[in-house]
């Protein structure tokens, strides 16, 4: 009897175990979704959120299942962070899945981006055990990847605007020479001793020299006559007016004698309170602060004079040391120094740079668009003026534009060793971004305040950090490849198209970005024409386009295939 019961029971157990084994078998990809649906590189990472489901009556009550995301490509793979789930009868701290109802779960992981991931697939791999027994669950493909458009930043940085070490060249420099004719108290006559003083002799000689010089031109001569602020207003007004008239008469006579044709502009100030305040503030006179306080408290000239005279302890010093200096006519020769012409500077830069000063030599680089000639000029500047950072910085700019990041960095660091200038730091930030060193770039940008290109470079940093909206705002209206890249990544396609159309010197990546725009906006003709132009400028982009998931829906399109063949 027992034997008869044993056999059916054994068969039932085998069937039951077999049933359980099947329920832990293959899972359909329908049970999984990913965000994003097609993986995308962001800030050097490939983030993904996986929403999965174990169906009803699938998860064995005694099972433990480890689920691992694995991104695979030809010749390599990388595993993400696994998650562990357990059946209802397993004692543990992992998420429990009901056998009867099944269960949903969410996994988040991120992979470090490498270019080979452009053509890859995301799988979930399962390690399932019931007790000590391993259950085979086949891997499930859950997504394709990776859209790597953000990684184009490394290519678009080549067209970024660098910070130049600008020259301070001025073709016309305004200069002036001054002299004073002093008067005795309450007098307006010009004394012989004053007219024969070294100051006036020197002034007259300066007028003659400037008038005779080929590279100088007199603008005008100003006469400003003053009376000191002691005495009545009517008296001082008459004195100042007479001092102006007498000085003007004298100056016109001297100009006529020297045969100098110059405009004379004359004026007088009855009481020179401004001059008084300046002299007092620079002096060590007793009660100086009290006097200055009186000047700030009272605006009426007579009130000021009364209050200052009331400070009896100091008024004698004012009368002896300050007031006499205000009884004067000030002569000012205003003139222009006219520098070398563009033709002279360009010629000397090429033939005899030693005849140019630093500002002229740096300015010479702006007179040519030939980078080879610019490089020659900056090299001469580093030899003639080795203690100025600007030529080294500008040599770094030329190397950067030529794609030689290592050489550019060397020049920038040499410039920085001379002066830690904002524009040098901004350029070093661009170098750091080109090398993928975002933290270093951010540090350099912290010392680049005041450079006009700072916002644009910050935009590049934000793209590298995956902050696309912030990057768009930082770029503003800049017409560069990087600005357009930020706009594409932020899905502002109209603005991106306008930006690309405005790039001053479009290159292969300008066209490649326009092709991406065509793909994203379903404009096949824009895609093919732009991609054709890009490949003509850089043939390596044909291979890139063939695996770029931006163009996935065109992979079987005849026009697309004819362009990348």
Same domain, yes or no: 304 and 191:
yes
Same domain, yes or no: 94 and 243:
no
pLDDT at 5 over 60: no
Instruction: Average the pLDDT over each of 51-60, 294-303, 374-383 and give the range with the smallest value.
Output: 294-303
Per-residue pLDDT band at 313 (split at 50, 70, 90): low
Q: Do residues 147 and 40 touch, judged by C-beta distance below 8 A?
A: yes
Domain boundary among 312, 338, 364: 338
User: Residues 398, 403, 405, CA angle at the centre, nearest 5°?
Assistant: 85
Q: What is the average per-residue pLDDT within 415-420?
A: 97
**Residue 312 pLDDT:** 59
Same domain, yes or no: 110 and 227:
no
Q: What is the average per-residue pLDDT within 496-525?
A: 96
Q: 179: domain range?
A: 172-338
Q: Which of 546, 512, 560 lies closest to 151 in space, CA to CA? A: 512
On whether residue 1 sits in a domain, the answer given is no
Q: How many CB atoms lie within 10 A of CB 146?
A: 28
Look at residue 63 and give its three-state secondary structure. strand
On whether residue 202 sits in a domain, the answer given is yes
Q: What is the CATH number of the domain that holds 212?
A: 3.30.1330.60
Q: What is the CATH number of the domain that holds 28?
A: 2.60.40
On whether residue 326 sits in a domain, the answer given is yes
Same domain, yes or no: 245 and 327:
yes
On whether residue 193 sits in a domain, the answer given is yes
Bridge pairing between strands 264-269 and 216-226: parallel
Same domain, yes or no: 114 and 41:
yes
On whether residue 506 sits in a domain, the answer given is no
Tokens representing 248? 């003007």
Same domain, yes or no: 215 and 285:
yes
Same domain, yes or no: 194 and 312:
yes
Q: Read off the pLDDT of residues 192-235 as tens digits, 9 standing for 90 and up.
A: 999 999 999 999 999 999 999 988 999 999 999 999 988 888 99
On whether residue 409 sits in a domain, the answer given is no
Look at residue 447 and give its three-state secondary structure. coil
**Residue 22 pLDDT:** 43
Q: Do residues 462 and 441 touch, judged by C-beta distance below 8 A?
A: no
Domain boundary among 318, 338, 358: 338
Same domain, yes or no: 101 and 177:
no
Same domain, yes or no: 68 and 188:
no
Same domain, yes or no: 176 and 125:
no
Same domain, yes or no: 197 and 329:
yes
Same domain, yes or no: 97 and 187:
no
Domain boundary among 305, 338, 371: 338
Quote the mean pLDDT of the chain. 92
On whether residue 230 sits in a domain, the answer given is yes
| pTM given for the model | 0.74
**Residue 2 pLDDT:** 39
On whether residue 542 sits in a domain, the answer given is no
487: burial class by Cβ within 10 Å (0-12, 13-18, 19+)? buried
Considering its fold, how many domains does the chain have in total? 2
């Amino acid at each position: 009897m027992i034997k008869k019961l044993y056999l059916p029971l054994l068969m039932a157990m085998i069937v039951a175990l077999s049933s359980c084994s099947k329920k832990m078998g293959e899972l359909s990809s329908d049970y999984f979704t990913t965000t994003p649906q097609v993986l995308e590189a962001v800030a050097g990472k490939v983030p993904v959120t996986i929403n999965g489901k174990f169906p009803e009556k699938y998860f064995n009550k005694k099972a433990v299942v480890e689920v691992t995301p694995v991104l695979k490509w030809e010749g390599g793979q990388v595993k993400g962070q696994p998650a562990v789930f357990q059946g209802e009868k397993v004692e543990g701290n992992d998420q429990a899945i009901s056998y009867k109802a099944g269960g949903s779960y969410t996994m988040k992981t991120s992979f470090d981006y490498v270019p080979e991931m452009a053509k890859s697939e995301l799988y979930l791999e399962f390690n399932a055990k019931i007790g000590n027994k391993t259950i085979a669950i086949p891997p499930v493909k859950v997504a394709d990847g990776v859209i790597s458009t953000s990684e184009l930043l490394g290519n678009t940085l080549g067209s970024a605007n660098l910070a130049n070490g600008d020259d301070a060249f001025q073709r016309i420099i305004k200069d002036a020479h001054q002299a004073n004719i002093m008067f005795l108290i309450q007098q307006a006559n010009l004394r012989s001793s004053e007219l024969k003083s070294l100051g006036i002799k020197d002034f007259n000689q300066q007028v003659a020299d400037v008038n005779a010089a080929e590279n100088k031109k007199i603008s005008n001569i100003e006469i400003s006559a003053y009376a000191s602020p002691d005495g009545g207003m009517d008296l001082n007004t008459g004195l100042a007016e007479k001092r102006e008239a007498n000085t003007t008469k004298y100056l016109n006579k001297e100009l006529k004698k020297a045969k100098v044709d110059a405009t004379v502009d004359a004026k007088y100030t009855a009481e020179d309170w401004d001059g008084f305040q300046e002299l007092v503030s620079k002096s060590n006179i007793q009660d100086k602060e009290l006097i200055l306080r009186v000047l700030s408290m009272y605006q009426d000239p007579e009130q000021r004079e009364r209050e200052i005279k009331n400070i009896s302890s100091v008024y004698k010093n004012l009368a002896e040391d300050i007031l006499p200096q205000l009884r004067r006519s000030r002569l000012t020769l205003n003139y222009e120094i006219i520098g070398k012409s563009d033709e002279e500077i360009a010629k000397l830069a090429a033939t005899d740079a030693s005849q140019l000063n630093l500002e002229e030599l740096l300015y010479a680089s702006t007179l040519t668009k030939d980078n080879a000639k610019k490089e020659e000029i900056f090299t001469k500047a580093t030899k003639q003026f080795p203690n100025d950072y600007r030529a080294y910085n500008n040599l770094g700019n030329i190397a950067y534009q030529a794609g030689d990041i290592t050489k550019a960095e060397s020049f920038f660091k040499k410039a920085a060793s001379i002066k830690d200038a904002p524009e040098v730091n901004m350029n070093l930030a661009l170098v750091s971004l080109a090398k993928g060193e975002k933290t270093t770039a951010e540090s350099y940008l912290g010392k680049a305040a005041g450079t006009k290109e700072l916002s644009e470079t910050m935009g590049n940093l934000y793209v590298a950090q995956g902050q696309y909206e912030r990057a768009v705002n930082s770029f503003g209206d800049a017409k560069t490849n990087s600005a357009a890249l930020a706009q594409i990544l932020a899905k502002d396609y109209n603005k991106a198209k306008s930006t690309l159309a405005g790039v001053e010197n479009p290159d292969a990546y300008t066209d490649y970005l326009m092709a991406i725009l065509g793909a994203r906006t379903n404009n096949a003709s824009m895609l093919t024409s732009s991609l054709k132009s890009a490949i003509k400028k850089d043939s390596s982009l044909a291979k890139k386009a063939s695996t770029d998931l931006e163009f996935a829906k065109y992979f079987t399109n005849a026009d697309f295939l004819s362009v990348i063949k």
